[in-house]
Amino acid sequence: MFRKVELVKTVYVKGKYPPPLNAEIAFAGRSNVGKSSLLNKLFGIKIAKISSNPEKQDL
């Protein structure tokens, strides 16, 4: 189904998005809802870091 999976960027502020690619999937949601866990499970690889401190954001 997918040949290559890559986490391009994690964005916390509107307007800081990377340039569009050919095919994209975006996940949005509140903190601590399991977005990273879902990505890792869907693709079967550790693509997104699962934070040990979910309230911390690197701005």
Domain spans in the chain, listed from the N-terminal domain onward: 28-52
Cβ(1)–Cβ(48) below 8 Å: no
pLDDT for 5-56, tens place per residue?
Answer: 888 888 888 888 888 877 777 777 777 778 888 888 888 888 777 767 655 5
pLDDT for res 14:
85
pLDDT for res 58:
52
| Ramachandran angles phi, psi of 17, nearest 5° | -70, 150
**Binning pLDDT at 50, 70 and 90, where does residue 59 land?**
very low
pLDDT for res 1:
64
- Alpha-helical (H) ranges within 1-59 are 35-43
Q: Given a cut of 80, is residue 3 above it in pLDDT?
A: no
